[in-house]
Amino acid sequence: MSELFGPKISLPVQISIITGLSAFSIYFMISSSTIVNPIISGVFDLNAAEMGFLIQAHLLGAVMFLIPAAKLGDRFGHIRIFSGGAIIFAVSSLFCSLSVSGIEIIFFRFIQGIGDGMMTACALVLITKVHPLKSRGCAIGFFLFAGYFGYISGLLTGSISAEIFGWQAVFLIPTPVILFAGFLAYKKSGRNNDDFFVSKSKHKFEEKRYPDFDTAGMLLFCPAIFMIAVGISGFLPGLRLNFLILGAVLFSLFLVIEKKSKNPLLMFSLFRKNRLFTYSVCADLLYYMTIGCIAYTLSIYLESGLYYSAFATGILLLPASLMQGALSPVAGHLSDKIEPKYVTAFGMGLIVITLIFYANISETKTGLTLISLMLALTGTGYAFFSSPNKSAIMSSVKKEYQGEASGIANTTEQIGNIVSISIAATVITIFSGNSTITPKLLPEFLEGMHFVFLAMALLGTINIIICLRRGDVKSVP
């Protein structure tokens, strides 16, 4: 690895480059696939609920594997699991571009999500272990900056390439980048079982390993989370209750197994004994439940309701990503200096203000320039919440539990997104029916959109209270 980077590049910088490349690719895929979602839905004749599941399938794959991936990283090395996730992500992206039906692309989006989960779960652990507390917020801010630079690139490059070369192009563009990140991670992992993090060497280090892996827990946890998430999403409305009940039964069995495991997949003691961790995770869950549907809903409004092109929609949505990308390192650095709870509460307050605005968008009276300006304010709120809260989660636990904390944090993030999009898709379907959204249905769609954003503003307000009541990171020993 040092041969690729040069001997003067320190270990924290190397890890930041590897994880930054993965964040760029993942967020590029998130934004570009959201932009082309109405195009793909038109090609395969998908309704509003199915459009939502085209995004949720990716989230389902990630949410299933985030915690297992973090624990596998504890056992085999996080850098190796990260590398494997990069390969899965790249190969599934290729198959997404070759899909010929809605079911096929949804399936490969699900596999793509597994690769996403493996990389994301390990990335936060890698960053946390090589960066001390005094610079950790800034490092996570850079990670998010790389992600939102990818998000911005996806809005612009993805929308242009979709119009010129077809929707398939958005799945091919990030593939070389993620393969390169996986290659760098593979080279860093070495050929033996000693990865890193204990040695004082600048480029060579070792990672503490945990010999046991909770295989029985994983075999129950993954299908349980899948069943529950599918039930929440409503993709199969006739079987929705069945999926929820079966998922609840499997999760109950999982809880019984976990109590007897020497190295449980999910350590509930982290919640019982650590108020700061518990409140920070709850804040993360409510944050993503609040914001997950914003880009999804507004892209349908602009493309299907107002007939704007994918490129024009990308430009209009761009300010949110620009502000988050530019301000994430600043917000992360600020949270290194003052308590993260104040920074996150401020960010959440900005988001609530903009959600109230979106809940009052008029078909004829609200200018697109004003919407873009409010999106810039939304992006500012994203920046001041996300990296400080992630830093608070990772800093609230001891080093030996950071893999666990990363898996839990990222799982709640994906669950929050799934729930948010599910709520939006369900409400929009109630107001506008199962038909494909067109300008004729715009009044009904707007009614549903207004209801959704008001509900999200309420969740955001609750989250501000949680942020302020969780305790101080600086008091953690």
pLDDT of residue 209 exceeding 80, the answer is no
Q: Residues 258, 271: one domain?
A: no
Looking at the predicted structure, is the pLDDT value of residue 16 above 80? yes
pLDDT for position 416 = 86
Please say if the pLDDT value at position 342 is more than 60: yes
**CA distance between the termini of the chain:** 34
| pLDDT tens, residue by residue, 217-259 | 888 888 888 888 777 766 666 777 888 899 899 989 988 887 7
Looking at the fold, whether 240 and 293 belong to one and the same domain comes out as: no
Which burial class, exposed, middle or buried, applies to 7 when counting CB atoms under 10 A from its CB (0-12, 13-18, 19+)?
A: exposed
Considering the domain boundaries, does residue 208 fall inside one?
no
107 within a domain of the structure (yes/no): yes
Q: Which of 179-193, 264-278, 357-371, 389-403 is the least confident region?
A: 179-193
Structural domains in the chain (count): 2
The model carries a pTM of 0.72
What pLDDT sits at residue 160? 81
The domain of 288 spans: 7-191+263-475
Same domain, 237 and 271: no
Please choose, from the candidates 278, 328, 276, 285, the residue with its C-alpha nearest in 3D space to the C-alpha of residue 463: 285
Residues 131 and 231 in one domain: no
The pLDDT of 419-446, averaged and rounded, is: 76
Residue-level pLDDT at 476: 54
* 203 DSSP assignment: S
Q: Please report whether residue 196 resides in a domain.
A: no
What is the reported pLDDT for 233? 65
pLDDT single digits (tens) 20-52: 898 899 989 888 887 788 788 788 877 666 777
pLDDT digits (tens, 9 = 90+) for 75-92: 788 888 998 999 999 999
Rounded to whole angstroms, what are the CA distances from 64 to 102, 182, 270, 287?
21, 21, 20, 20
Specify whether the CB–CB gap between 162 and 32 falls below 8 A.
yes
Of 226, 174, 237, the closest CA to residue 59 belongs to: 226
Distance CA 51, CA 29 (A): 16
User: Predicted confidence band at 288 (pLDDT cuts at 50, 70, 90)?
Assistant: very high
438: left (phi over 0), alpha (psi -120 to 50) or beta: beta
| 300: Cα within 13 Å, side-chain hemisphere | 30
Classify the C-alpha dihedral 4-122-97-439 as positive or negative: negative
Instruction: Say yes or no to pLDDT of 106 above 50.
Output: yes
Residues 17 and 73 in one domain: yes
State residue 254's pLDDT score.
87
> 238 and 291 in one domain?
no
- What percentage of the chain has pLDDT greater than the value 70? 86
pLDDT (0 to 100) of residue 7 = 52
Residue located via tokens 């893999």: 403
Please determine, for residue 306, whether its predicted confidence score (pLDDT) is greater than 80: no
Q: 317 lies in a domain?
A: yes
With 0-12 CB in 10 A as exposed, 13-18 as middle and 19+ as buried, what is 462? middle
Q: For residue 242, what are its two tokens?
A: 């069945």
Q: How confident is the model at residue 464 (pLDDT cuts 50, 70, 90)?
A: very high
Question: Rounded to 10 degrees, what is the CA torsion of 187, 189, 192, 197?
Answer: 140
Q: Give a yes or no: residue 287 inside a domain.
A: yes
Residues 355 and 439 placed together within one structural domain of the fold? yes
Domain end point (choices 205, 238, 262)? 262
Helix-strand-coil split of the chain, %, nearest 5? 80, 0, 20
Q: 137 vs 221, which has greater pLDDT?
A: 221
Q: What integer pLDDT is reported at residue 189 of this predicted model? A: 63
Domain end position, chosen among 205, 236, 262: 262
210 occurs within a structural domain: no
pLDDT (average), residues 126-142? 77
> Are 141 and 81 found together in one domain?
yes
- Structural contact between residues 334 and 175, judged by C-beta atoms closer than 8 angstroms: no
Q: Look over the chain and give the mean of its residue pLDDT values, rounded to a whole number.
A: 80
Domain C-terminal end among 205, 227, 262: 262
Query: What is the rounded distance in angstroms from the CA atom of residue 403 to the CA atom of residue 397?
Result: 10
Of 193-207, 407-421, 461-475, the range with the lowest mean pLDDT is 193-207
CATH number, domain at 94? 1.20.1250.20
Residue 1 lies in a domain: no
| Domain identity same for 71 and 179 | yes
What is the pLDDT, as a whole number, of residue 196? 43
Backbone dihedral angles phi then psi of residue 435, each to the nearest 5 degrees: -75, 160
pLDDT at 208 over 60: no
311 and 284 in one domain?
yes
Let me know: does 66 contact 412? Beta carbons within 8 Å. Answer: no
Q: Is the pLDDT of residue 386 over 70?
A: yes
Q: Residue 34 CA to chain centroid, in angstroms?
A: 13
> Is 50 exceeded by the pLDDT of residue 298?
yes
Instruction: Report residue 389 CA to chain centroid gap.
Output: 14
In a domain, 415, yes or no: yes
Spacing of C-alpha 427 from chain mean position: 22
**What is the per-residue pLDDT for 234?**
64
Contact 355/297 with Cβ under 8 angstroms? Answer: no
Same domain, 22 and 151: yes
Residues 293 and 155 placed together within one structural domain of the fold: yes
